[in-house]
Amino acid sequence: MNKKIISNRKILIVLIFIFVLVQANTVVAMNDDKIESLLEKHIKDSNLPGIATGIIKNSETIYLDTKGKDGYGDKLTKESPMFIGSLSKSLTALAVMQLVEKDLISLDKPVKKYIPYFKVANPKLSKNITVHDLLIQKSGLSRKKSVPSSDYNNTLKERVKALSTMEEVTENGKEFHYLNDNYNILGLLIEEVTKKSYASYMKEHVFIPIGMKNTTANISDIKQKNIYGYTNIFGFSKKIKQRVPRYDIPSGYIVSNLEDMNKYVSFLIDPSTEILSKESIKKMRMVNGNSDYGMGWHITEVNGLKLIEHSGAVPAFSSHIGIIPETKSGYVYIINKNHLLYNFVHTYDKLNGNLLKIIMGEENFEHFPSIWVIRIASLVILILALKDIWMTKKLIKSIKSKKDWVKESVKSLILLVFLSFGLPFILKNVLAIGFDLKIMLSYVPDFTILLLIAILIQVIRFIVSLFHIIRKNYKCDVQKG
C-alpha cells in the first residue's frame, strides 16, 4: 500500500512538473507571439525593410531575433552587420572613462593638454574646453555653426584641425548642444593618449572584453563589409550603400550586429567592474545641470524609474537602446532604414515607447501608420512642384508688360533668397538641423532634390524676367531714338 502511494506521488510530481514546464513554455511563446506581432505591425506601419531586436527583462533575454530583409534582399539575421549610429558615442565615452581610471586623462583638464594643436575660432574657448565638456555635449560648439562636412576619407586628426574656423554659440560648460564633433574630438583624444588607433583601442579594451567579437571601428573592415541599407523616396524604400565618413566613426559609424549589441545591453544592465568601475558608470549616468545628457546617454525618468537611453541614425540605419537599471531590463533595435521625416511622424517614438512597455510589463501598445502620412505629404509636394513647373511655362507665355515682368522678377528673387538662405537658416538655427547639402542629400534625398529643383525654377524665372525687362527697355530706347 505504501509503495503504491509513493508510486502515485511520483507520477503526480512528474505530471505537475510537465504541466509547469508546458505552462512556462506557453508563456514564453505567448510573449514571443506578442513581440512578433508588435514588430510586424511597426514594419507595416513604417514600411521598414528589416529590424533586429533584443529585449532583456530581469537580466534574462526574452527576445533576440530579426525580421525582414537585409540590404541585399536576403533574410536579415542576428549576425548581419549594421551601423549603430550615435550609439557609438556611449562606447567612445566608456573608453574615455577607462583612460580616466588609468590616470591618463583628467575630466577637468582642457582638451588642449592632450591635443596641443586643437583649436576653434575663439582662442579663449580653445583653451577652456575640457574633456568633461565634450562628454556631456557642453563644449560651447553647436550644429548651428558647424563647419561643412570634410572629405569622407579624412582622418580624425584632419577633421579636428578643420574645426579651427568653427565659432561658438556659448561659453563652454554652459549649455547643452548636441554635436558629433564633440565625440570625434574624444576619438582623437583616445588616439593621442594611448598612441594607438581609435579602432585598435576600442577592439582591445571595449569590444572584446564585453564580448562584441563582430563589432568594429576599423575603416578598412567596415568598407570590406560593403553594407547596404535603405532610405525613403517619397514614401517608398530605396536601397542605398551606406557611405562612411572615416572621421565620424567615434560619434556614429561603428558597425555591429544584433548579437553583439544584445551583449552590450546586458553589460549596461549589469556592468563588469573588470571593464569599468561602478563609480565611473555612475558618473556616466549623471545628468548635468540644464540638460538630461550624461556621458553618451540621455537620462530621464519613467514611472519613477531611471531610464538610460540613446538613439542612433545614419542615412541608411537607425537604432535605439533603452535601459532601466533598477529592474535589470533593457532593449536594443537596429533598423536598416532611415529618413528625416520618420522623426516628424513619430515612427521611432512609437517603437521606443512600445518596447519600453514590454520591459515594464505593459501591453497597451500604440501604433500609427506613419508611412501613409509620408506618402500623402510626398504626393502633395510633388503635385505642387509639378504645378510650379507648369505655371512657370504658362507665365512666360502670358506676361506681356514690363510692369508684370518687374513684379515677377521681385517675386522670384524673394523666393530664391528664402529657399537658398532663409530655409537653411530656419533648419539650422530654429530646428538645429545642420544644413549641409551633402548631409541633407543623405538623410532626406527626395525632398532635398525637390528643394534644388524649386531653387532652379526660381532662378529660371528670375533670369527670364530680367531678360524681358532688359528687352522691353531696349525696345523703349529704340522707339525714343
Taking only the tens place, the pLDDT of each residue in 187-211 is 999 999 999 999 999 999 999 999 9
Do 376 and 280 belong to one domain? no
Predicted TM-score (pTM) of this structure: 0.86
**Of 319, 335, 368, at which residue does a domain stop?**
368
- pLDDT at residue 13 in the model: 41
How many CA atoms lie within 13 Å of 281's alpha carbon, on the beta-carbon side? 14
* Domain of residue 116, CATH code: 3.40.710.10
Do 330 and 414 belong to one domain? no
Do 376 and 273 belong to one domain? no
Task: Kindly state whether residue 354 falls inside one of the protein's structural domains.
Answer: yes
Do 355 and 403 belong to one domain? no
Task: Kindly state whether residue 14 falls inside one of the protein's structural domains.
Answer: no
Q: Residue 192: left (phi > 0), alpha (psi -120 to 50), or beta?
A: alpha
380-401: string of b/e by CB count within 10 Å (b at 16+)? ebeeebeebeeebeebeeebee
Per-residue pLDDT tens digits for 63-82: 999 999 999 999 999 999 99
Structural domain boundaries enclosing 456: 371-480
* Residue segments in the chain with a per-residue pLDDT below the cut of 70: 1-31, 396, 399-400, 427-436, 472-481
Q: Do residues 112 and 130 make contact, with C-beta atoms less than 8 angstroms apart?
A: no
Do 173 and 246 belong to one domain? yes
Domain count, the chain: 2
Do 128 and 40 belong to one domain? yes
- pLDDT at residue 423 in the model: 74
- pLDDT at residue 431 in the model: 59
For residue 193, the Cα-to-chain-centroid distance in whole angstroms is 28
The C-alpha cell at 459 is 532662378
Do 349 and 390 belong to one domain? no
